Amino acid sequence: MSIQPEPGRAITLLLGGARSGKSRYAQEAAAACHRVAYIATAKVTDEEMGRKIARHRAERPAAWTTFEEPLALETVVREQGGCHEALVIDCLTVWTANLLDHHEFDVAAAVSHADPLCEALSQVKAKVFIVSNEVGSGVVPAYESGRAYREALGEINQRVARVADHVILMVAGYPLVVK
């Protein structure tokens, strides 16, 4: 898959299911840029997550600057959006889970972080590639916490999609342009 990002500033939201190729697409698109900041939202919570984070680190070019921020994503976007040619944010899915955990599953409190993020995104000069899962296509979760998560992530994805220049749905490694 050949990816040529458009010249100048653009915000691209990449949605899809687990292992759909979202992160790979974002990294390949950003690789065309010289100064890239990779903003990771995950934190090591168990051995499996530790292995996943290690795999993601190994897949990134060594020249990229990595920022690990599980909660204050908008701060890193503001601080790095003018210093880098591209930002890769991976991912809103984990960021939302972190926010829900931080706010004891208060959906409104978690979603309230989307507006400052969108404001920061609208002010950056860099190309931005944002990875997030699309969780609205499955069954209704059986547990209250799962329903809260789906609600929060769905609302955050919608808000980010509104400020994005491009929205791409990844299916089996192939991009489908939504916006």
Domain-wise residue ranges, the chain: 11-177
Enter the tokens of residue 22. Answer: 């979202």
Split the chain (179 residues) into runs of 10 and give each run's mean pLDDT: 62 94 94 95 91 88 94 97 96 97 97 98 96 89 93 98 98 95
CATH number assigned to the domain covering 11-177 = 3.40.50.300
**∠ CA 127-131-135 to the nearest 5 degrees?**
145
pTM: 0.92
**Residue numbers annotated as active site:** 56
